[in-house]
């Protein structure tokens, strides 16, 4: 059974969402954001059409990524949180108006569901879900996640976080910043960030990926690279774990959502360099 954890860190210091849809990071030096597009020149095989899957696409096969071996696949076919995943509980660090509850993360109908809604058990506050693959740290590798959101209102994030819980570094490979028409990537290292924006429909299914090597971090969507981070001094070199989470930061920073929403995850696939 998954263990409920209090997440005590403050992700990215103070995250302020501006009217422009960009972000300001208190105490950090940010590379000016750019709007990217997924390129068509390079591609990766990140799943095959399969109409029995909720998203219409099955996880990638064992030899899908050249030079890598498939080491983990989770298709969320059961009704319980899979072994090796830990649920978040309590007030997130740096977000005093937020609250994680393990009851806001469920597995049903072949999907992992992170749910945002006003919870009567918490005085009708907006409560969110979050979890980490905390028992499976890796140093370098490739992660692919098939996901979508159902509505606006929450900031949904798929990221890599240091297993030591000492920040930075951090790799956010899919973060929508409360929007339905964009995703962002952010690489965090000592006092710096590299932040990129991708215009994309977040209501549709997409396969989000990150290929993390000792010298670069490659961000991928639907098999196509859309940003490459090549500052070797900023590439993380410590064991990290996969996290999924949502936050509303309401009412302290933003207006609260108009309706409930979910982050739906069909599957997760992970690769390590073949030896």
**pLDDT, averaged in runs of 10, over the chain (275 residues):** 48 38 41 57 82 97 94 97 97 87 98 97 96 97 98 95 96 97 97 96 98 98 96 97 94 87 98 94
pTM here is 0.90
What is the DSSP secondary-structure string of 12-53? TSSEEE-TTS-EEETT-EEEEEEEE---SSS-----EE-TTS
Q: Helix, strand, or coil here: 124?
A: coil
Indicate the Cα dihedral angle 164, 165, 166, 167, nearest 10°. 130
Q: What pLDDT score was predicted for residue 25? A: 38
The domain limits of the chain are 4-273
Classify residue 187 as exposed, middle or buried by CB count within 10 Å of its CB (0-12, 13-18, 19+). buried
Q: What pLDDT score was predicted for residue 20? A: 35
Paired with 185 in beta bridges are 196
Quick one: which of 203, 205, 206, 247 has its CA closest to 226? 206
The CA distance from 219 to 38, in Å, is: 9
Q: Phi/psi at 104 (nearest 5 deg)?
A: -95, 10
Helix (H) or strand (E) holding 6: none
Quick one: which of 240, 23, 248, 242 has its CA closest to 129? 248
Q: What pLDDT score was predicted for residue 8? A: 39
Quick one: which of 96, 150, 89, 80 has its CA closest to 121? 89
Q: What pLDDT score was predicted for residue 245? A: 97
Q: Which CATH architecture has domain 4-273?
A: Sandwich (2.60)
């Amino acid at each position: 059974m998954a263990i409920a954890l209090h997440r005590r860190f403050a992700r990215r210091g103070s995250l302020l969402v501006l009217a422009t849809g960009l972000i300001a990071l208190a105490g950090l030096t940010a590379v000016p954001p750019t709007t990217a597009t997924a390129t068509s020149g390079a591609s990766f095989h990140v799943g095959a059409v399969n109409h029995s899957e909720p998203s219409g696409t099955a996880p990638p096969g064992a030899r899908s990524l050249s030079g890598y071996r498939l080491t983990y696949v989770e298709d969320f076919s059961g009704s319980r949180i899979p072994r090796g995943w830990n649920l978040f509980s309590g007030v997130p660090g740096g977000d005093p108006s937020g609250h994680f509850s393990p009851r806001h993360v469920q597995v049903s109908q072949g999907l992992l569901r992170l749910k945002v809604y006003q919870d009567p058990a918490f005085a009708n506050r907006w409560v969110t879900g979050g979890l980490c693959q905390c028992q499976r740290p890796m140093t370098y590798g490739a992660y692919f996640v098939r996901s979508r959101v159902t509505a606006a209102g929450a900031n949904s994030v798929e990221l890599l976080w240091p297993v030591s819980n000492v920040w930075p570094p951090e790799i956010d490979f899919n973060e929508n910043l409360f929007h339905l028409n964009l995703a962002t990537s952010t690489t965090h290292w000592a006092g710096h960030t590299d932040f990129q924006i991708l215009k994309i429909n977040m209501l549709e299914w997409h396969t989000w990926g990150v290929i993390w090597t000792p010298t670069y971090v490659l961000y991928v969507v639907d098999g196509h690279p859309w940003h490459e981070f090549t500052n070797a001094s900023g590439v993380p070199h410590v064991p990290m774990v996969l996290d999924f989470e949502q936050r509303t930061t309401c009412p302290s920073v933003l207006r609260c959502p108009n309706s409930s929403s979910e982050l739906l995850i069909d599957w997760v696939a992970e690769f390590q360099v073949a030896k």
